[in-house]
């Protein structure tokens, strides 16, 4: 699609100029607005009572500092009288009242769209993080979303060309809007409401040609109203709006803010305003960063772009734990970035942040010949963290997870040797997240063909977080990687024959895979090229993945659990359902199996009785405890859930 833009929008950018200065200590001021007992002063084992601090951080970045050289448009941001670029981010801290009772580890969670996910999924009902004595920190880093009472965000400046607005073409995508009239929010303000310099198109699937449509109008500079064209397009159709936008936010400052605040909290005495470090000097020995989904991608890019080295040349985080990030990074440190998007097979497929390099070690890109790796920069500066990376099975189907462990050669991927400081784990049968249950709470399929898989990875993450802490603090290595390999015949091409997925009545197999490489992200829309060689798990006779960590619910199954699901009729049928896995119950009896033609062994043929089912489930849980993939307490919780089902005769 070709869109004409007034030539004045493309004037050569000007650069803010100010006297250069030597690099100083991080300029951060912590403003603590509330300080209160956590959970009404509850005592958490040997850690004792915790307190909750909440406020904001006022920071400054030097545009001339080498540590900030990679921040896109920092040189185009407004500066104060000292030539510094100012920002503000929200902060929350949970720390032991008596610092001596803590475990000496600062655990930073990169928030997901401003939300603290770790408290529910990792801390859990037993308050694991507090019982273990972690000092827990969150700061805002995303600057393109509004703040609320429950979210933590960043406030970063808008870049300009010497005070004049920066205008460029921006692409916005809308999916699952229904088939009537709907409103779409634009990621950046429109530079003009002139329809002659815009274009709206629709396509049923990513690979389909774009069809221009005119049934839309601007409501204002941040919203459009669209009337869907109807047949043959379903509610899952992809609408692509290309328009001249203005006022890009310097979002890459979120990386630097995360770097500087955590560096200060770890070892600083007083902040730039003279306030004492709220954690106390000497209370923190080690630092770990954890991120889930969007924020796991944030951490991978944080390390890749060199921000794990602070401005004094020291390591910021000793360990990082990206969770369900797959092989992606994040679209953050870029002009007109759209941070909330994440690339999927159908939706936002052309999103930046899903491009080479994928693996942690140095790899030669089979499509371009370029060599790079997530840890290349920090290896040169000796600031690499230890990495424990945990994915669900969905990440192999929807996030090209196999590119973490293979070279992606289209002619036949080969296994990679992982760096010594990296561990990679796959949790089989899980969607993007999961509910940590054996059976789903609802039979609602939404826009998907199958009920979503109820399995989750939280129990595995809890165990491996403690192993990462031991690795960082004491040098005790965690279990060996368990992600799957080509040589082990656990990762294979996606076809049904190669995976061995059974012919289950009523189930359409997901044999599609069209994650194209983008050859030009500067084009609008981006230009795609060849495909990487991407692999998925081989499965057992029930259709459950053989690769990775197999939870007790898979070793002693009541269903087939997959990391993929397909869109249902009326919703771009046959495309991958976003973030979802599948729950496909096993036949209950032999007669039911024979009547339906289901090839899977029935429940009554599989287990002699209810006690046999619980015994097999418990034995699988014990094996994961022995391997270091589950804590005994969480294994016992799983067994208790299985025991309470009483579904097996």
Q: Count H helices and E strands in the chain, helices first.
A: 13, 27
18-35 average pLDDT score: 69
State the Cα–Cα distance between residues 352 and 370, nearest whole angstrom.
Answer: 18
Q: Please, which residues have CB within 8 angstroms of residue 594's CB and are 6 or more apart in sequence?
A: none
Q: Which of 549, 510, 545 is nearest to 391 (CA)?
A: 549
Confidence at 649, pLDDT banded by 50, 70, 90:
low
pLDDT at position 332 over 90: yes
Q: Which residue is associated with the tokens 């849980």?
A: 621
User: What is the structure's pLDDT at 26?
Assistant: 76
User: What is the structure's pLDDT at 587?
Assistant: 97
Q: Do 319 and 469 touch, CB atoms closer than 8 A?
A: yes
pLDDT, tens only, 457-498: 999 999 999 999 999 999 999 999 999 999 999 999 999 999
User: What is the structure's pLDDT at 381?
Assistant: 97
Average pLDDT of the chain, as a whole number = 93
User: What is the structure's pLDDT at 519?
Assistant: 74
Any idea what DSSP says for residue 453? P
Confidence at 25, pLDDT banded by 50, 70, 90:
low
pLDDT at position 506 over 70: yes
Confidence at 112, pLDDT banded by 50, 70, 90:
very high
User: What is the structure's pLDDT at 620?
Assistant: 98
pLDDT at position 520 over 70: yes
In what helix (H) or strand (E) does residue 638 lie, and over which residues does it extend? helix 632-645
State the Cα–Cα distance between residues 160 and 138, nearest whole angstrom.
Answer: 30
95-109 average pLDDT score: 98
pLDDT at position 5 over 80: no
pLDDT at position 201 over 60: yes
446-467 average pLDDT score: 98
Instruction: Encode burial over 153-191: b for 16+ CB neighbours within 10 A, e otherwise.
Output: bbbbbbbbeeeeebbbbbbbbbbbbebeebebebbbebb
Q: Which of 524, 530, 557 is nearest to 542 (CA)?
A: 557
Q: Which of 615, 507, 625, 608 is nearest to 566 (CA)?
A: 507
Q: Sort strands 160-161 and 164-165 into parallel, antiparallel or unpaired.
A: antiparallel
State the Cα–Cα distance between residues 205 and 209, nearest whole angstrom.
Answer: 9
pLDDT at position 1 over 50: no
User: What is the structure's pLDDT at 438?
Assistant: 97
Segment among 494-508, 522-536, 613-627 with least mean pLDDT = 522-536
State the Cα–Cα distance between residues 75 and 15, nearest whole angstrom.
Answer: 6
Which pair of structure tokens corresponds to residue 17? 């100029």
CA of 449: how far to CAs of 177, 370, 397, 568, 580, in Å? 18, 40, 16, 5, 10
State the Cα–Cα distance between residues 608 and 648, nearest whole angstrom.
Answer: 9
pLDDT, tens only, 628-637: 999 999 999 9
Segment among 522-526, 609-613, 615-619 with least mean pLDDT = 522-526
Dihedral pair phi/psi, residue 262, rounded to 5°: -70, -35
Q: Do 366 and 533 touch, CB atoms closer than 8 A?
A: yes
Q: Do 174 and 236 touch, CB atoms closer than 8 A?
A: no
SS3 644: helix
Residue count (the chain) = 649
State the Cα–Cα distance between residues 193 and 207, nearest whole angstrom.
Answer: 30
Q: Which of 485, 487, 425, 488 is nearest to 457 (CA)?
A: 425
Confidence at 349, pLDDT banded by 50, 70, 90:
confident
22-38 average pLDDT score: 83
State the Cα–Cα distance between residues 354 and 342, nearest whole angstrom.
Answer: 8
Q: What percent of the chain has pLDDT over 70?
A: 95
State the Cα–Cα distance between residues 339 and 407, nearest whole angstrom.
Answer: 27
Q: Please, which residues have CB within 8 angstroms of residue 535's CB and are 6 or more apart in sequence?
A: 396, 402, 406, 413, 484, 486, 491, 492, 493, 494
496-503 average pLDDT score: 96
Which pair of structure tokens corresponds to residue 580? 């979802």
Query: Alpha-carbon Rg of the chain, whole angstroms?
Result: 25
pLDDT, tens only, 132-184: 999 999 999 999 999 898 999 999 999 999 999 999 999 999 999 999 999 99
Q: Do 598 and 585 touch, CB atoms closer than 8 A?
A: no
Q: Do 199 and 224 touch, CB atoms closer than 8 A?
A: no
Which pair of structure tokens corresponds to residue 307? 């921000």
pLDDT at position 401 over 70: yes
Side-chain half-sphere of 450: how many Cα atoms within 13 Å? 29
Q: Do 544 and 550 touch, CB atoms closer than 8 A?
A: yes
- Sign of torsion over alpha carbons 38, 44, 49, 55: negative
Q: Please, which residues have CB within 8 angstroms of residue 498's CB and are 6 or more apart in sequence?
A: 492, 538
Distance between first and last Cα of the chain = 62
CB atoms within 10 A of CB 113: 15
User: What is the structure's pLDDT at 73?
Assistant: 98
SS3 87: strand
User: What is the structure's pLDDT at 21?
Assistant: 26
Dihedral pair phi/psi, residue 125, rounded to 5°: -65, -25
Give ∠ CA 177-182-188 in degrees, rounded to 5: 90
Confidence at 522, pLDDT banded by 50, 70, 90:
confident
Q: Please, which residues have CB within 8 angstroms of residue 17's CB and are 6 or more apart in sequence?
A: none
State the Cα–Cα distance between residues 146 and 283, nearest whole angstrom.
Answer: 34
């Amino acid at each position: 699609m070709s869109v004409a833009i007034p030539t004045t929008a493309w004037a050569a950018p000007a650069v803010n100029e100010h006297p250069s200065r030597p690099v100083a200590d991080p300029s951060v001021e912590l403003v603590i607005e509330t300080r209160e007992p956590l959970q009404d002063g509850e005592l958490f084992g040997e850690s004792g009572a915790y307190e909750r601090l909440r406020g904001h951080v006022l920071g400054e970045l030097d545009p001339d500092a080498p540590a900030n050289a990679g921040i896109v448009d920092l040189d185009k941001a407004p500066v104060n009288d000292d030539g510094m670029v100012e920002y503000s981010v929200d902060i929350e801290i949970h720390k032991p009242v008596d610092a001596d009772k803590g475990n000496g580890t600062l655990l930073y969670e990169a928030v997901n769209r401003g939300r603290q996910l770790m408290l529910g999924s990792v801390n859990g009902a037993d308050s694991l993080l507090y019982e273990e004595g972690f000092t827990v920190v969150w700061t805002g880093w995303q600057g393109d979303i509004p703040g609320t009472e429950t979210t933590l965000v960043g406030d970063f400046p808008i870049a300009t060309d010497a005070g004049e607005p920066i205008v460029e073409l921006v692409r916005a995508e809308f999916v699952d809007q229904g088939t009537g009239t709907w409103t779409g929010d634009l990621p950046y303000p429109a530079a003009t409401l002139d329809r002659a310099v815009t274009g709206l198109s629709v396509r049923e699937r990513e690979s389909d040609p774009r069809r221009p449509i005119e049934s839309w109008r601007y409501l204002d500079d941040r919203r459009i109203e669209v009337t869907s064209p109807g047949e043959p397009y379903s509610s899952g159709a992809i609408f692509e709006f290309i328009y001249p936008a203005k006022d890009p936010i310097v979002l890459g400052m979120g990386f630097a803010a995360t770097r500087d605040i955590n560096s200060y909290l770890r070892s600083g005495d007083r902040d730039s305003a003279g306030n004492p470090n709220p954690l106390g000097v000497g209370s923190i020995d080690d630092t770990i960063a954890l991120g889930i989904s969007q924020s796991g991608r944030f951490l991978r890019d944080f390390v890749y772009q060199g921000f794990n080295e602070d401005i004094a040349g020291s390591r910021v985080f000793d360990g990082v734990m990206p969770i369900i990030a797959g092989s992606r990074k994040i679209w953050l440190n870029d002009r007109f970035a759209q941070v909330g998007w994440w690339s999927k097979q159908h939706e936002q497929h052309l999103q930046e942040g899903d491009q080479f390099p994928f693996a942690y070690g140095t790899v030669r890109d089979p499509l371009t010949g370029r060599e790079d790796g997530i840890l290349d920069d920090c290896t040169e500066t000796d600031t690499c963290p230890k990495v424990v990376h945990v994915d669900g099975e969905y990440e192999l189907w929807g996030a090209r997870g196999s590119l973490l462990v293979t070279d992606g050669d289209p002619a036949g991927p080969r296994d990679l040797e992982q760096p010594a400081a990296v561990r990679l784990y796959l949790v089989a049968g899980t969607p993007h997240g999961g509910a940590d249950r054996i059976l789903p709470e609802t039979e609602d399929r939404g826009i998907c063909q199958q009920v979503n898989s109820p399995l989750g990875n939280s129990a595995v993450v809890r165990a491996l977080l403690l192993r990462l802490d031991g690795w960082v603090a004491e040098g005790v290595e965690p279990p060996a990687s368990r992600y799957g390999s080509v040589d082990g015949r656990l990762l294979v091409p996606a076809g049904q024959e190669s995976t061995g997925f059974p012919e289950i009545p009523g189930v359409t197999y997901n044999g599609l895979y069209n994650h194209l490489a983008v050859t030009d992200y500067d084009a609008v829309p981006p230009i795609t090229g060849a495909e990487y060689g991407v692999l998925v798990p081989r499965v057992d006779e029930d259709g459950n993945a053989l690769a990775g960590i197999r939870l007790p619910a898979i070793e002693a199954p009541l269903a087939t659990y997959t990391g993929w699901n397909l869109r249902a009729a009326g919703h771009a049928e046959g495309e991958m359902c976003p973030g979802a896995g599948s729950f496909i119950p096993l036949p209950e009896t032999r007669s039911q199996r024979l009547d339906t033609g289901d090839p899977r062994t029935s429940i009554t043929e599989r287990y002699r009785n209810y006690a046999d089912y619980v015994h097999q489930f418990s034995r699988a849980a014990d094996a994961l405890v022995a391997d270091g993939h589950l804590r005994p307490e969480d294994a016992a919780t799983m067994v208790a859930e299985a025991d309470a089902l009483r579904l097996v005769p």
